[in-house]
């Protein structure tokens, strides 16, 4: 199910679509919450799985939400969308007077539509102010972050979230520019700074600035913050036999999802030899994916962005 992007970039293809719909068991009908609706690819497939399904969709990106609303208008009252951060799930459901959902989906990270939006500053492929906020109504831009943080803090972000081995050199170059009164404020300045700092390297599979851009995006949008809390809240809002599916694109995200689902399936996550469990493990779910589901070679061939995706799912007991 590819959706054209109005002439911009590659068509948008929902990642691991068939697997998601199967694990959500959307053919049973009922209320589903799509916490990251994006352009609505997964939501549309949920709506098509049964004439009895309804979707409450969230996204923190107003522009994406508007496109999803237009695209899914034909489903009438079966689809409604709300501008919200999924970490506010409990508040959103209370406001909508929803106690329990049959299925909850979170397809984390940015969409290819956002990456390809020339003015958003997510990509080194487009000259734009270094913004990178998914929600442009609040928070600090990437440029502001680079203008405020210390060299050590910038290096840490690039190393931890980007797994970039040249993180210290890149952070030093960013701070030197700032000290000369030439702060990094747009995408091409950052991309060429990283390219100059890291050198030509051996035949690279990816652009040298890829990891730095990814790291900054994760920091700007605080993507890992309270992800464990969200997974726990989502499970608490499922009806018995309800399903939660989480698709992640970063090893740190996947680790948090794995640990949290482990804990919610009753497996203690405390360090070995602690006298008493303090991690809060309880048996609330059955994990449906012993190992994460990853995309097939065929899917990666038509949608290279799917490459790093990992899907984990559980069933509420």
Ligand X SMILES: C[S@@+](CC[C@H](N)C(=O)[O-])C[C@H]1O[C@@H](n2cnc3c(N)ncnc32)[C@H](O)[C@@H]1O
Residues forming the site for ligand X (CB under 6 A): 12, 14, 36, 38-42, 58-61, 64, 85-87, 107, 109-111, 134
Nearer to ligand X, 13 or 126 (CB): 13
Question: What is the nearest approach in angstroms of ligand X to the Cβ of residue 216?
Answer: 15
Nearer to ligand X, 104 or 194 (CB): 104
Question: What is the nearest approach in angstroms of ligand X to the Cβ of residue 271?
Answer: 29
Burial class (CB in 10 A: 0-12, 13-18, 19+), 253: buried
- Contact yes or no for 47/23 (Cβ under 8 A): no
Nearer to ligand X, 39 or 288 (CB): 39
- Contact yes or no for 247/111 (Cβ under 8 A): no
140, 211, 248, 298 from 295: Cα distances, Å? 34, 21, 12, 8
> Per-residue b/e over 17-32, b at no fewer than 16 CB within 10 Å?
bebbbbbbbbebebbb
Question: What is the nearest approach in angstroms of ligand X to the Cβ of residue 107?
Answer: 4
Question: What is the nearest approach in angstroms of ligand X to the Cβ of residue 13?
Answer: 8
Strands (DSSP E) along 41-196, which ranges?
53-59, 79-83, 101-107
- Contact yes or no for 141/129 (Cβ under 8 A): yes
180, 220, 263 from 80: Cα distances, Å? 50, 28, 32
Question: What is the nearest approach in angstroms of ligand X to the Cβ of residue 39?
Answer: 4
Nearer to ligand X, 44 or 164 (CB): 44
Nearer to ligand X, 245 or 285 (CB): 245
Burial class (CB in 10 A: 0-12, 13-18, 19+), 266: middle
* 186 DSSP β-pair partners: 129
Nearer to ligand X, 187 or 309 (CB): 309
Question: What is the nearest approach in angstroms of ligand X to the Cβ of residue 84?
Answer: 6
Question: What is the nearest approach in angstroms of ligand X to the Cβ of residue 176?
Answer: 32
Nearer to ligand X, 149 or 227 (CB): 227
Which letter does DSSP use for residue 266 in this model?
T
């Amino acid at each position: 199910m590819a959706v054209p992007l109005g002439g911009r970039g590659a068509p948008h293809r929902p990642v691991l679509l068939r697997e998601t719909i199967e694990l959500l068991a959307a053919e049973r009908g009922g209320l589903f919450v799509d916490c990251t609706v994006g352009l609505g690819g997964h939501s549309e497939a949920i709506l098509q799985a049964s004439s009895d399904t309804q979707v409450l969709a969230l996204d923190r990106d107003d522009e994406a939400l508007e496109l999803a609303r237009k695209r899914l208008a034909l489903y009438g009252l079966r689809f409604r969308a709300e501008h919200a951060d999924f970490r506010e799930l409990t508040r959103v459901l209370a406001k909508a007077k929803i106690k329990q959902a049959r299925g909850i989906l979170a397809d984390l990270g940015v969409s290819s539509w956002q990456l390809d939006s020339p003015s958003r500053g997510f990509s080194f492929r487009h000259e734009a102010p270094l913004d990178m906020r998914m929600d442009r109504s609040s928070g600090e831009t990437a440029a502001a972050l680079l203008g405020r943080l210390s060299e050590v803090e910038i290096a840490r972000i690039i190393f931890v979230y980007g797994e970039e081995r040249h993180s210290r050199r890149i952070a030093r170059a960013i701070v030197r520019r700032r000290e000369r009164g030439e702060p990094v404020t747009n995408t091409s300045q950052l991309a060429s700074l990283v390219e100059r700092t890291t050198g030509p390297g051996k035949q690279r599979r990816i652009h040298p600035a890829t990891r730095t851009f990814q790291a900054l995006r994760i920091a700007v949008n605080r993507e890992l913050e309270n992800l464990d809390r969200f997974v726990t809240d989502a499970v608490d809002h499922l009806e018995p036999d309800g399903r939660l599916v989480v698709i992640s694109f970063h090893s740190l995200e996947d680790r948090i999802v794995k640990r949290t689902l482990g804990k919610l399936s009753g497996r203690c996550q405390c360090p070995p030899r602690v006298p008493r469990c303090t991690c809060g493990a309880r048996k609330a779910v059955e994990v449906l994916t012993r190992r994460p589901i990853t995309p097939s070679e065929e899917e990666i061939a038509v949608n290279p962005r799917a490459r790093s995706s990992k899907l984990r799912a559980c069933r509420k007991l």
